[in-house]
């Protein structure tokens, strides 16, 4: 199921030494629905979309990676272009972010015969344009079982990790897994994560003694105001799971469209410091 998109520990001011990593994106496909919330899929062959491997029409075994569910695309003897796209997340303020996932492909058809390609790609404009981070042809972890038969291949699992340092500061980031093949083989992925090392310590986040910032009215039915002596660069509202809901560049925010409950307001100052406050929506 979908995990928290941002570390609440970081937002609430826990020292960086107490937090191993920011979790910016996490998906293990163990939820009740597929695709999971926020994920989207497209395909050119309607019977061969990204789906749970347990639902494959032909490749009924061998593609589960971990847990009870993995996502994948089953092969078909025609051309297919199928994509699975993540929700948007932010790399603003991230330190040394990485993309991690586990993957299975058949060596014979996907690599040796090159009848298909599986790509991991990144977009920094919400999915309009994409850059390839990884493809199965350059992954040394996939191996041939040496039996000389393409139809009894070795579907070994490989753990992939790719640096996203180039994209630090981007706020509208998505990850796409694209399968492009013609009578190739099935593929599967699982345990997708985007992780970043914490970059701020207690005295930099949420420390009211050093950063004067107050939110009013609180509780509120809609509009909130931020009182501070510092210049505000932007304001981001999160739910209590750490999911970023919206961002603006003002000392005001309107949360009237949100459900009743408790939210976090992260204030980003022009000097690079931040402060985070809880607000209750009535």
CATH code assigned to 22-197: 2.60.120.200
What pLDDT is attached to residue 166?
Answer: 93
pLDDT mean values, one per 10 residues, the chain (282 residues): 40 40 90 95 98 90 91 96 97 89 92 95 96 94 80 84 93 97 96 76 38 79 88 85 81 89 85 83 88
Measure the CA–CA gap between 235 and 228, rounded to whole angstroms. Answer: 13
Residue-range domain boundaries for the chain: 22-197, 213-281
What pLDDT is attached to residue 72?
Answer: 97
Measure the CA–CA gap between 74 and 159, rounded to whole angstroms. Answer: 20
What is the helix (H) or strand (E) element at residue 160, kind and residue range? strand 157-163
What pLDDT is attached to residue 228?
Answer: 85
What pLDDT is attached to residue 119?
Answer: 98
What sign has the CA pseudo-torsion 202, 204, 210, 211? negative
CA distances 51 to 34, 35, 185, Å, are 7, 7, 15
Which residues have CB under 8 Å from 276's CB, separation 6+? 11, 12, 13, 205, 206, 264, 265, 266, 267
What pLDDT is attached to residue 110?
Answer: 93
Domain 213-281 top-level CATH class? mainly beta
Q: Is 202 exposed, middle or buried (0-12, 13-18, 19+ CB in 10 A)?
A: middle
CA distances 3 to 22, 30, 37, 53, 241, Å, are 12, 11, 10, 21, 8
What pLDDT is attached to residue 21?
Answer: 66
What pLDDT is attached to residue 212?
Answer: 59
């Amino acid at each position: 199921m979908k995990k928290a998109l941002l570390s609440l520990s970081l937002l609430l001011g826990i020292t960086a030494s107490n937090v191993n990593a920011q979790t910016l994106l996490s998906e293990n496909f163990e939820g009740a629905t597929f695709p999971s919330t926020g994920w989207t899929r497209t395909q050119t062959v309607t019977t061969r979309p990204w789906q749970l491997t347990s639902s494959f029409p032909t490749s009924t075994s061998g593609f589960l990676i971990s847990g009870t569910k993995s996502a994948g695309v089953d092969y078909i003897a025609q051309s297919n272009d199928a994509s699975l796209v993540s929700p948007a997340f932010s790399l603003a303020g991230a330190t040394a972010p990485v993309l991690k996932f586990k993957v299975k492909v058949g060596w014979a058809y996907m690599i040796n015969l090159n009848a298909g390609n599986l790509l991991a790609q990144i977009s920094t404009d919400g999915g309009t344009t994409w850059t390839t981070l990884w493809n199965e042809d350059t992954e040394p972890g996939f191996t041939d079982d040496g039996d000389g038969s393409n139809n009894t291949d070795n579907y070994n699992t490989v753990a992939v990790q790719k640096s996203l340092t180039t994209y630090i500061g981007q706020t509208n980031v998505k990850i796409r897994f694209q399968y492009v093949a013609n009578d190739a083989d099935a593929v599967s992925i699982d345990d997708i994560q985007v992780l970043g090392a914490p970059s701020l310590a207690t005295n930099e986040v949420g420390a009211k003694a050093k950063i004067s910032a107050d939110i009013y009215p609180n509780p509120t039915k809609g509009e909130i105001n931020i009182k501070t002596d510092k210049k505000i660069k932007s304001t981001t509202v999160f739910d209590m799971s750490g999911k970023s809901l919206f961002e603006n560049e003002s000392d005001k925010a309107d949360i009237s469209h949100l459900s009743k409950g408790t939210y976090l307001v992260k204030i980003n100052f022009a000097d690079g410091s931040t402060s985070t406050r809880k607000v209750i929506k009535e």
